[in-house]
Structure 1
Amino acid sequence: MARQQITQYFDDLDDSPLQEDEVNIIRFSVEGTDYVLDLSEDNARAFHEALEPFITAAREDAKDVLQKTDPADIRTWAQNKGMDVASRGKIPHAILQAYRDAHS
């Protein structure tokens, strides 16, 4: 006896069935809680259109600036600003805060 397992996808908003190549995975966070939605192309577009005015008015979270930045770039920036920073090891909080302030 053979067994075949089939995965079926459904739109999380309207419960319509989706083929694997039709699934749009949307990841987003609100007030520190992360969410994931599987949506059709139409519902994914509607989601992005609904958020567009909020995204346009928002600013990037400063912690994300640091997470997306290579520490070597922070060290170079600090050195160019005349700050004392070692070439290895933990970057002092004051330098991280100054970088964050300058790039937010």
Structure 2
Amino acid sequence: MARRIVHQLVDDIDGTLLEVGEGETVHFSVNGVAYEIDLTNAHAEELREALAPYITAGRRTAASGSRTSAPRKRAARNSDSSAIRAWAKEQGLDVSERGRISAEVLEAYNAAH
């Protein structure tokens, strides 16, 4: 048995079926939220005309998803985690073989050394 999957685009404003080569998907963003909408050529033009005064008056920014504040710095890693894990096991503390060492274990290790 054969299966055929048909992908059809429909104008999101009026439900017009978009044939191959007709219409387009328009991408835009407002308040940091990205949107896309499938539109006939006429509706795409209407959207561009409606946004034109705002686009002209506005200024371009970096691509969406960019940070406006400085990136957070990662916490400094203790370079001797294997020694800390070994010490914690000797002390009977619960410590995993991999991953982050809990703050409690680190505090106990630092207090002892």
TM-score using structure 2 length = 0.52
Could you tell me which residue of structure 2 aligns to residue 54 of structure 1?
54
Structure 2 residue runs without a partner (length 5+): 71-113
Write the letter of the residue equivalent to 1:23.
G
* 1:67-78 equivalences in 2 (<5 Å): none
Number of aligned residues: 65
Structure 1 residues 48-90: Cα deviation after superposition (integer angstroms, max 9, x where no partner): 00000111111122x45xx8xxxxxxxxxxxxxxxxxxxxxxx
Give the SS at the match of 2:53. Answer: helix
Which structure: larger Rg?
2
Q: Which has the higher helix share?
A: 1
CA contact (8 A) 2:23 2:44 kept: no
Structure 1 residue runs without a partner (length 5+): 68-92, 94-104
Runs of 4+ with deviation above 3 angstroms:
none
TM-score using structure 1 length = 0.56
Matched, 1:23 2:6: no
- Identity in percent: 38
CA RMSD of aligned residues (A): 1.8
Matched, 1:40 2:33: no
